[in-house]
Amino acid sequence: MAIEEAAPAKVNLTLHITGQRADGYHLLDSLVVFAAVGDRLTFAPLDDLRLEINGPLAAGVPAGNDNLVLRAAAVLGGGGAAITLEKHLPMAAGLGGGSSDAAAALRGLARLWGRALPAARVVTQLGADLPVCLNPCTQRVQGIGELLSPVPPLPPLWLVLANPGVGLATAAVFGALAEKSRRAMPHTLPRCGSAAELATFLRMQRNDLEAPAQQLAPVIGQVLAALAAQPGCLIARMSGSGASCFGLFADPLHAAAAARTITAARPTWWVRDTALAA
């Protein structure tokens, strides 16, 4: 019987860059949530290891040993499995798609092979997003991505995710970042009773990669403007290193209407309205 694992989109509601280590890794402080949209992986027993990639956004996804799913299998110790990756998230989009896929592969293969999940310090070799994606729930992420802590429960909220079809390399965005040691979020995050209160808090925080990403891809400004212009949008911000952006909404009807409006105006963009992942 096949094992299934969801690989939900990761959204950085905030992303503060607080320093840089001597080895070049950047320190961060981020409030991360996961959306109900994402990729899906299935795993079935097989003597050797095989990866099949399909889905509406499968084009261009590498299927060789450089694919993070296969690299995750190697970190877990290797073995046989038939893995199918169904791609629904755009690549190099700031939504943690590859990292979420790799984390789902670790969870699914650990179940299939009867093995324990590796520690956060081990999976960071696959990428800084791997530890938080391994347990895809709302968390505060610090250090280089390996320090995770719970946060007060978030109020009901909905997101509209939009990507203009422009891929951005994370290294290039960090390379364009001028100031690499800025203020962290408050030591204790507030408990927000409504989406409006959360938006007020988020407006006092930042995504420090938004400005350098816009230098590399000015279309991000158009995405932010399109989201911010929608009725009911409480805040519009870029996620991760871009180019995907999100609009925050207090109810699903305004979010759905916003997604339809933006899709009609920009049919080549990838746009989805979504709740948070369960």
Q: How much is the CA Rg of the chain, to the nearest whole Å?
A: 18
Angstrom distance (rounded) from CA 62 to CA 59: 9
φ and ψ at 103, to 5 degrees?
Answer: -65, -40
C-alpha torsion sign, points 229, 233, 234, 240? negative
Catalytic residues: 10, 129
**Sole residue written with tokens 């991000």:** 220
Say if CB 214 and CB 125 are below 8 A apart: no
Give φ, ψ of 145 to 5 degrees: 125, -5
Rounded to whole angstroms, the Cα distance separating 275 from 278 reads 9
